[in-house]
Amino acid sequence: DVQMTQSPSNLAASPGESVSINCKASKSISKYLAWYQQKPGKANKLLIYSGSTLQSGTPSRFSGSGSGTDFTLTIRNLEPEDFGLYYCQQHNEYPPTFGAGTKLELK
């Protein structure tokens, strides 16, 4: 199975700042990396797939980059609603696997 290593596990930032979350695959997954946001009481939301393609409805302050084994989710000009948990998922091969998550907290 492809192991997905996310970093950091926790991240504290203030509204208006920019942050980056990293995801490293144990083998090449081409461009097939997705990012999800998880917030209490809300359905998980797909933000980005295939490395850098924004899902419909994802604000343009979110961006994804990377290929092969190293990927990054960048959020510019943080809004209050951006705080929560973020997970990466490889969608290159079976079984699809997820990172352990990054908790983005308000500083």
Partner 1 sequence: EVQLVESGGGLVQPGRSLKLSCVASGFAFNYYWMTWIRQAPGKGLEWLASITNNGGSTYYADSVKGRFTISRDNANSTLYLQMNSLRSEDTATYYCTRGAILRIPLGDYWGQGVMVTVSS
Residues in touch with partner 1 (CB under 8 A):
32, 34, 36, 42-46, 49-50, 55, 87, 89, 91-101
In the complex, minimum distance from the CB of residue 89 to partner 1, in angstroms, rounded to a whole number: 7
Nearer to partner 1, 16 or 41 (CB): 41
In the complex, minimum distance from the CB of residue 53 to partner 1, in angstroms, rounded to a whole number: 10
In the complex, minimum distance from the CB of residue 17 to partner 1, in angstroms, rounded to a whole number: 25
Contact indicator for 26, 3 with CB cutoff of 8 Å: yes
What distance lies between CA 68 and its chain's CA centroid?
16
- Write phi, then psi, for 80 (nearest 5 degrees): -55, -35
Nearer to partner 1, 8 or 15 (CB): 8
What SS3 state is found at 82?
A: helix
In the complex, minimum distance from the CB of residue 77 to partner 1, in angstroms, rounded to a whole number: 25
Q: Give the C-alpha distances (Å, rounded to integers) separating 49 from 31, 64, 67, 80, 92.
A: 9, 8, 12, 23, 11
Nearer to partner 1, 49 or 83 (CB): 49
Tell me the two tokens of residue 46: 């797909």
